Structure 1
Amino acid sequence: MADERLYPTRPFLAVSAAILRDRKVLVVRRARKPALGVYTMPGGVVEAGETLTEAVTREVMEETAMTIAPVALAGHREAVIRDAEGRVERHFVILCFASRWIAGEPVLNEELDDFRWVTLDELKALKTTEGLAEIVAAAMDRLRDA
């Protein structure tokens, strides 16, 4: 079965969660391309019929077995990956939600090979997706204000 996300005809809408607990954020390391070996936040593609908060809650449960409460939109990122010829290989618009940890401890699935609860300063020392520290800082602000 062909991956419709590879060489797409349109961008895909995705969600992620900046999950905060005890002044730390959860980051996970991707075990597959295109972000192999990079720390990011749990999340994935929104399915037809899902609200954004339903999607982020489901994706976090699928990837980490944790329960969260999405609180507020923390920001967005666009991921456009081009191949050697300059063609769009992947294109995602990712909405990140500031989220509170409710229950569970991370249990990794086949998409992830590591997790860490880190402070914002510790996050800066990791290989992360572009702009991750800024979106985490925004999430911390949203949760502080909520």
Structure 2
Amino acid sequence: MPDARLYPTRPFLAASVAVFRDGRVLLAARANPPMAGRFSLPGGLVEPGETLREAALRELAEEVGIEAEIIGFADHVEVVERDERGVKFHFVIAAFAARWRAGEPCPSAETGAVVWADPADIGALPTTAGLAAIVAKAQSVLLSA
């Protein structure tokens, strides 16, 4: 069965969450394309009838097994990849800032390694494009709350 996310006829809406605990942010390595092996924020597609916040928290629980409290909206991220056939991927991701509430992160079928990272050290990791900037915005939201 072909992946409906490849060469889409429309953008896909997704939500992610930057969860902070003791000054560190939770990052998960993507297990599947696009960008497999790169660290990013836990997140995924919004399901019909689900709010962006609900989607972010559901994906957080499914992907890494933790609970958090969303503090606010950080920003949106657009992932558009093109090749000779046209638009290969197009995702619009609403990113939220949150505080850790419960659970210890563990990998899942959608994530590889899971780490609590110092935001200042993100540049040393293989990450999705723009991750350091969105984490900085999320950290700012958290500090201003």
The AA in structure 2 aligned to 1:51 is T
Matched ranges for 1:19-30 at <5 A: 19-30=19-30
Structure 1: unaligned runs, 5 residues or longer: none
Give 1:95 deviation, angstroms.
Answer: 0.8
Is contact 2:64-2:114 (8 Å) kept? no
C-alpha distance in 1, partners of 2:73/2:120? 22
What per-residue deviation string (whole Å, max 9, x for no partner) do you get for residues 32-74 of structure 1?
Answer: 1111110101000001100111110100000011011111110
TM-score between the two structures when normalised by the length of structure 2: 0.96
Structural mapping, 1:8-19, within 5 Å: 8-19=8-19
- The superposition leaves residues 84-127 of structure 1 with CA deviations (integer Å, 9 ceiling, x where unpaired) of x1511110001100011100011211111101111112111111
* Cα RMSD, aligned residues only: 1.0
In structure 2, the residue matched to 1:37 is 37
Give the structure 2 partner of residue 71 of structure 1. 71
TM score, norm. by length of structure 1: 0.95
| C-alpha deviation, 1:3, in angstroms | 2.4
- Secondary structure in structure 2 of the residue aligned to 1:13: strand
Matched residue, 1:90: 89
Counterpart of 2:5? 5
Query: Is the contact made by 2:12 and 2:91 (CA closer than 8 Å) also made in structure 1?
Result: yes
Which amino acid in the other structure matches residue 2 of structure 1?
Answer: P
Query: What is the alpha-carbon distance in structure 2 between the residues aligned to residue 29 and residue 38 of structure 1?
Result: 5
User: In 2, Cα distance between the equivalents of 1:2 and 1:50?
Assistant: 25
C-alpha distance in 2 between matches for 1:86 and 1:94: 23
State the partner residue of 2:122: 123
Provide the C-alpha distance between the structure 2 equivalents of 1:70 and 1:79, rounded to a whole number of angstroms. Answer: 23
Amino acid at match of 1:97: F
| 2:59 alignment partner in structure 1 | 59
**Equivalent pairs, count:** 145
Structure 2: gaps (5+ residues): none
